[in-house]
Amino acid sequence: MSAPRETLHWLSGAAILAACSLAGRLLSERLALPVPGSVVGMLLLLAGLLLYGGVPRGLALVSSQLLRLLALLFLPAAVGVFFLRDLDAGDWLALLAATTIGTLLSFTLCALLLKKLLSNAELRERRQGDD
Amino acid sequence: MTEQFVSLLQGPLFILPLNVAAFLFGLQLYRRSGTALLHPIVGASALVAAVLWSLDIDYTDYQDASGLLYALLGPAVVALAIPLKQNLGIIRRAGWPLAVTLVVGAVLAPVVAIVIALLAGAARPVLLALAGKAVTTPIALAVADKIHAAQSLTVGIVVFSGVVAAVLGPALLRWLGIEDHRILGFALGINAHAIGTARALEISALCGAFAALAMGLCGALTALALPLLTGAGA
Q: Is the pLDDT of residue B230 over 80?
A: no
| B136 shares a domain with B31 | no
pLDDT band with cut points at 50, 70 and 90 for residue B20 = very high
Q: Which residues of A84-94 are buried (b: 16+ CB within 10 A; e: fewer)?
A: eeebeeebeeb
Same domain, A43 and A2: yes
Range A89-105 average pLDDT? 83
User: Last residue of some domain: A23, A41, A73?
Assistant: A73
Domain of residue B110 covers: 79-230
> Does the pLDDT of residue B91 top 70, yes or no?
no
Same domain, B98 and B170: yes
| Mutate: best of A72, A93, A123, A125, partner B, most B CBs <10 A | A72
In this structure, the number of other CB atoms found within 10 A of the CB of residue B33 comes to 11
How does the average pLDDT of chain A come out, rounded?
84
- Put simply, the answer to whether B85 touches A90 (Cβ < 8 Å) is no
Average pLDDT value for chain B: 81
| Tens digits of residue pLDDT in A48-74 | 999 998 888 889 999 888 877 877 887
Q: Which of A10-19, A24-33, A71-80 has the highest mean pLDDT?
A: A10-19
Residue B70 lies in a domain: no
Cα dist from B186 to A87, A106, A118, B166, B170, whole Å: 34, 12, 12, 12, 12
Query: What is the tally of structural domains in chain A?
Result: 2
Does B177 map to a domain?
yes
pLDDT surpasses 70 at B11: yes
| Domain shared by A69 and A111, yes or no | no
Total number of domains constituting chain B: 2
Say whether pLDDT at A16 is over 90: yes
Residues 3-62 of A with CB under 8 A from B: 14, 17-18, 20-21, 24-25, 32-39, 41-43, 45-46, 49-50, 55, 59-60, 62
Residue B31 placed within a domain: yes
User: Is the domain of A36 the same as that of A91?
Assistant: no
**Facing residue for B183 by CB, picked from A18, A90, A111:** A111
Question: Residue A32 sits in which domain range?
Answer: 1-73
Is pLDDT at B147 greater than 80 in this prediction?
A: no
B49 part of a folded domain = yes
Q: Can you tell me the distance from the alpha carbon of B140 to that of B144, in angstroms, rounded to the nearest whole number?
A: 6
**Residue after which a domain boundary falls, among A73, A93, A118:** A73
| Residue A23, burial from CB neighbour count under 10 angstroms (0-12, 13-18, 19+) | middle
Does one domain contain both B60 and B84? no
> How many CB pairs below 8 A link A and B?
314
Please give the DSSP secondary-structure letter assigned to residue A10. Answer: H
Top mean-pLDDT range of A6-10, A91-95, B33-37, B198-202: A6-10
Q: Residue B232 pLDDT more than 50?
A: no
> From CA B48, how far away is CA B113, in angstroms rounded?
29
Question: What CA–CA distances, in Å, run from B130 to A85, B56, B67, B141?
Answer: 18, 30, 25, 12
Same domain as A89, residue A65:
no
User: Is the per-residue pLDDT at B233 higher than 50?
Assistant: no
pLDDT at B234: 36
Across A65-87, average pLDDT: 80
Does residue B141 have a pLDDT over 60?
A: yes
For residues A114 and B212, the model is more confident at: A114
Single out the residue in B20, B38, B65 at which a domain terminates: B65
| Cβ separation A102–B146 shorter than 8 A | no
pLDDT tens, B162-212?
Answer: 888 888 888 888 898 888 888 898 898 888 877 777 778 778 777 877 887
